[in-house]
Amino acid sequence: MSLENQPRLQLSNSSHVVLLEDDDFLRVDLHSLLTLGGYVVHAFSNAIDFLNSPFNFAPAVIVSDMRMPGISGVNLQSALVEIGRIIPFIFISGESTEYQIIQGMKQGAIDFLIKPFNSEDLFTAIDKGIAVDKAYVREISFRKNLDSTLRKLSPREFQVYELLKKGYSNAELSQTLGISIETTKQYKQEVMRKLELKSLSELMKFATL
């Protein structure tokens, strides 16, 4: 998925927890526990209701029962990956197959807690997930800004940029692009100006971002 198609996130100073649990009593208990723990909790009894909700907050983590009616926790995890929203998952379950556990972990689950679990273990896993999501959101924001900066370049300037990244000299640029040395230097200067870079060493560092 391209960065342009990434879901637009509503950044928040709060830590959001999506709670997915089909057991009404356990869902209410966990909602109270997590709220007292200082999290903003969004509770759902099934994955379909969550997918149909306008939830777009970050940073966030999902605490999900593995087995739910309709869409399982692992299948929800896969669905979110497909639409480009990588929210850290913490699975909770009374019973799950080895395949489900392995699949969840392969798709990046933060932890897998067997019911009944210790509240401190849950808080630890949630805080780890929130830290992961914060890093993910920062990376997406950085990449979007980087793409926006590169879009300032004309098609020819972008060609020059790509070749400069590979260490091409002025003579090699001139020969490859079929332009004069003087024109090559002009393009090079324009690339540096638009990217707000002062030296080739800065450009090489920029290219590795």
Q: What percent of the chain has pLDDT over 70?
A: 90
pLDDT higher than 50, residue 6: no
3-state secondary structure of 40: strand
Q: What percent of the chain has pLDDT over 90?
A: 43
Q: What was the pLDDT predicted at 125? A: 95
Which CATH architecture describes the domain 152-207? Orthogonal Bundle (1.10)
Q: What was the pLDDT predicted at 11? A: 62
pLDDT higher than 80, residue 58: yes
pLDDT higher than 80, residue 134: yes
**Options 3.40.50.2300, 3.90.470.10, 3.40.50.620, 3.40.1080.10; which CATH number does 3-147 get?**
3.40.50.2300
- Whole-prediction pTM value? 0.67
Strand partners, 58: 11
Q: What was the pLDDT predicted at 46? A: 94
pLDDT higher than 70, residue 9: no
Q: What was the pLDDT predicted at 3? A: 33
Comparing 37-46, 128-137, 197-206, the range with the smallest average pLDDT is 197-206
3-state secondary structure of 18: strand
**pLDDT class of 200 with cuts at 50, 70, 90:** confident
Q: What was the pLDDT predicted at 63? A: 96
Main-chain phi, psi angles of 8, to 5 degrees: -75, 125
Strands lying side by side in the sheet with 111-114: 40-44, 10-20, 57-65, 89-93, 111-114
Q: Mean pLDDT: which of 17-21, 73-77, 141-145, 164-168 is highest?
A: 17-21
Cα dihedral 181, 182, 185, 187 sign: negative
Long-range contacts of 86-89 (CB under 8 A, 24+ apart): 86/136, 87/18, 87/60, 87/61, 87/62, 87/133, 88/60, 88/61, 88/62, 88/128, 88/129, 88/130, 88/132, 88/133, 89/61, 89/62, 89/64, 89/129
Q: Residues 144-165: pLDDT tens digits?
A: 777 888 888 998 999 999 998 8
Which of 99 and 35 is assigned the larger pLDDT? 35
Q: Where are the domains of the chain?
A: 3-147, 152-207
